[in-house]
Structure 1
Amino acid sequence: MALLQHTAAASSNASVVSIPAQYTYLLPGNFTGDPSYSFANGTSTTEPSVNNLLADAAQAPFISFDDEFLDLLGPNPTPHLIEQRSSNFAGEAGVWIKERGEVWYTTWINDGPTHIEILNLTDNSIRRPNISEPIENPNGGFYHQGLVYFTSLRVMTDNSSSGGVVSVDPETGHVEQVLNSYMGLKFDSIDDVAWVTQPGTNKSYMYITILPFTILGDSPLPLDRLPQGIWRFDPQEQVLLPVISRTDLPVANGVRPSPDQKHLYVTDFGGDSHAAAWGLPAQVGSPSVYKYDLDDEMYPVNRRVIASARMQAPDGVRVDNKSRLWTGEGEGVVVRNRHGKVIGIFNAQCFTRDAVNVAIVQFALAGDDLIILGQDKLWRVKLAEMLVTVSS
């Protein structure tokens, strides 16, 4: 009875379309699917009623596959467009600073040099931070013990550039370099960063993802670059080492810990349709999310796949207080329960101008708000549950 009530409520709200969960694994009649498009846009069956349902879902901001997602949305979910520009200004990072009521994000690296912007959640105003020195191409970000950490992408046109990780004090704007090399070798495509504090101790460890280095034209690859994978910095022992190799994760991208700090989640932007773009052999990697346990020494162990993207590949990743997994994919912001079931989607078709070519790669969970970085659009969605209570 509860399912029928929820379905009826959803059907009365044009912003939400509910699709039976069984359609994700069992479709009636004959069907075709195109992975270049989303499930709703790229699936066609011989059943007109199913096609009509999918067509409705393709135009809806919220697509539900489970009562849990409807409860999360609440009775009247409404996307609020904060700002829209002609450029892709809302691209990466998505760092919530709870005590300041702010979300820090970065612009889109594919459009040239990047910078940091700050969304004030009190009045939805946007500004740039007043920082002590420029940060070269800030990209991924994470909040830890009063500082915002950003990855800095190396610019190959300038041989003096190194890339690495910097910290920013949000109170003073002071910028400090944290990492810029491994024994003289430069960071290239360092993408994301996350801190994890070992339970029961005050020891924290920083994990960074390094993408395969790509370069346009016939220029040779630089020799002073670090291999891709997951690296960990131990500030207690002053040790920087790779902890997940490129043979395990060829295109390691997003990284985040679980709220209890006992697990590490990493996205892989690999797979058949992506390997060539990274200069990798065909069929290397998988467009999936991996979950690792963190052992007594805070090394990631016991890898398993907990999610796989249908369209494109997962990039940004978050875990909320109910162990739900949130990812930025071609479909949009996809929400899965702790078992890996897709319970709902914040549809990219509605939150970015071109869901095929301008994907949503990052977002922020900010208390009971979802902040969607839609590239040329910045969105805020008030939800019916507190997603997280700790800044990240």
Structure 2
Amino acid sequence: MHCLARRLQPFAFSFLAASALAAGLENQNILFLEPSSLYKLPVDFNGNSSQSFLQTDGLFKGTARQARFQMVKPFIAYDDEFANLFAADATLELIYNSSDGNPVSDEMGIWVWDHNQVWMSSAGVGNVSYTYILDLNKHTVKPLDVSSNGISIVNPNGGGYFNGKVYIAGTGNMSIPPAIYEVDPVTHEAQVVVDSYFGLRFNGPNDLTWAKRQDKSWLFFTDDPLSYYFNNGKYPTIPDAVWRWDPAEKTVLPVIDRTDILVPNGIRVNKDSTKLYITDTPSQLIPGSGFQEVSSMELYYGSDSSSIYVFDLSEDGFPHNKRLLGIAQRGIPDGLHLDDAGRIWTGEQDGIVVRSPTGKVLGMINALAIQGEQVVDSNKMPLQNFALAGYKIIIFAFTKIYQVQLSHTIVKNMT
């Protein structure tokens, strides 16, 4: 629907209104593009799979300076629903900048709502990454100091918060095997809850989500062969799959195999646990995927599909009725989160893309705005993951963390 109360007069750009009205008020940080620009452009347009859609020649008319000013707007709206998510003065607010230059924010994005924290994993330094905790009250960041039995959570990746405990998927390294951990957010006591299947270690649990139906709950997690190869230097010993752990029945079951999704990555359920969303991972050899090309065919594990899929979840917790929901324009739809309205948020190379429950692209938080106006390297990945935290979006940009104020709460506590 496009029923903005009023619109500003457009500049001399095609498919463009100069700003959108968020919550009924003008926000100069929002650029509204007509939805038809996603599939219909002037005959002289020229796109490039290695560049953002906003860098498409012919998308904007006017001077290069004017076009550049538009393409680095923080919020790109294709639908009023997206524009109306933001507070009237919403912007990309820098709330943390690493003083030593070490990356602290890359993956995970767990909102620990009752402690007003966001848990995240750093990008690797020396092939090792760690868990960090952002205090949303003080805007301070500290490393997770796991206090129990010498357990070290090495190379954490995805995770979630359920029933007062933080669950982290760790891909491990040469000396510490892959596992899924449960951590108390107060005491930081940790324990391994899942690490193997009939004596075979998992390749590298990538991400996880909890589903709950009446009195039953299950933890779904993706297992990634790429993680095993990179972190252990060996070939995987178990097929990559999506797994389900039932703590009540004390059972781990494979529920989706590689014939449905070759390299499962991000995973989430909707609010009422009736649908399961999973992203697939393209090969590292695919141009524009965000990875450098490599010569070794040993790394050619991916499906060549940067896709988002949705499954129905049965009453007894099994996924079925697979459907393709969307394909990333560039990069991997890596960070995957859902809000309470069922919108799907993914971290892609162009930015944080928001889709409706049916897959319509509503808009995105622009990666070029985080990278800066110079737009020096269109293949640079200025963000990878994020957290939905009540009425805020917390954006991970490696050494920096940004927040965006929303017009209303989009995620209430998930437990």
Equivalent of 1:366 in 389, 396, 399: 389
SS in 2 for 1:69: helix
Q: Tell me if structure 2 keeps the 8 A contact 1:348–1:355.
A: no
1:341 and 1:216 mapped to 2: Cα distance? Answer: 35
Equivalent of 2:280 in 265, 268, 273: 268
Equivalent of 2:339 in 294, 307, 320: 320
Tell me the TM-score normalised to structure 1 length. Answer: 0.89
2:302 and 2:184 mapped to 1: Cα distance? Answer: 42
1:46 and 1:253 mapped to 2: Cα distance? Answer: 32
1:226 has 2:249 as partner: no
1:256 and 1:345 mapped to 2: Cα distance? Answer: 19
Structure 1 residue 46, shift from structure 2 partner: 8.4
Aligned to 1:376: 399
1:185 has 2:194 as partner: no
Amino acid at match of 2:90: P
SS in 1 for 2:279: strand
Structure 1 residue 76, shift from structure 2 partner: 1.5
Aligned to 1:67: 80
Q: From the superposition, tell whether residues 242 and 50 of structure 1 become closer, same or farther in structure 2 (CA, over 3 Å).
A: farther
Q: From the superposition, tell whether residues 343 and 216 of structure 1 become closer, same or farther in structure 2 (CA, over 3 Å).
A: closer
Structure 1 residue 15, shift from structure 2 partner: 2.0
1:175 has 2:176 as partner: no
Structure 1 residue 27, shift from structure 2 partner: 0.7
Equivalent of 1:32 in 17, 21, 46: 46
Amino acid at match of 2:239: P
Structure 1 residue 281, shift from structure 2 partner: 5.6
SS in 1 for 2:268: strand
Q: From the superposition, tell whether residues 381 and 173 of structure 1 become closer, same or farther in structure 2 (CA, over 3 Å).
A: same
Equivalent of 2:144 in 115, 118, 129: 129
Q: Tell me if structure 2 keeps the 8 A contact 1:321–1:388.
A: yes
Structure 1 residue 130, shift from structure 2 partner: 3.5
Q: Tell me if structure 2 keeps the 8 A contact 1:92–1:362.
A: yes
Aligned to 1:76: 89
Aligned to 1:151: 169
Q: Tell me if structure 2 keeps the 8 A contact 1:6–1:70.
A: no
Q: From the superposition, tell whether residues 267 and 54 of structure 1 become closer, same or farther in structure 2 (CA, over 3 Å).
A: farther
Say which is worse superposed, 1-10 or 130-139, in terms of deviation: 1-10
SS in 2 for 1:99: helix
State the identity as a percent.
32
Q: From the superposition, tell whether residues 355 and 44 of structure 1 become closer, same or farther in structure 2 (CA, over 3 Å).
A: closer
Structure 1 residue 296, shift from structure 2 partner: 2.4
Query: Could you say what the CA RMSD is over the residues aligned between the two structures, in angstroms?
Result: 2.7
Q: Tell me if structure 2 keeps the 8 A contact 1:96–1:103.
A: yes
For structure 2, which runs of at least 5 residues remain unmatched after alignment? 10-17, 21-25
Tell me the TM-score normalised to structure 2 length. Answer: 0.85
1:220 and 1:351 mapped to 2: Cα distance? Answer: 34
SS in 1 for 2:37: helix
Structure 1 residue 309, shift from structure 2 partner: 0.5
1:3 has 2:15 as partner: no
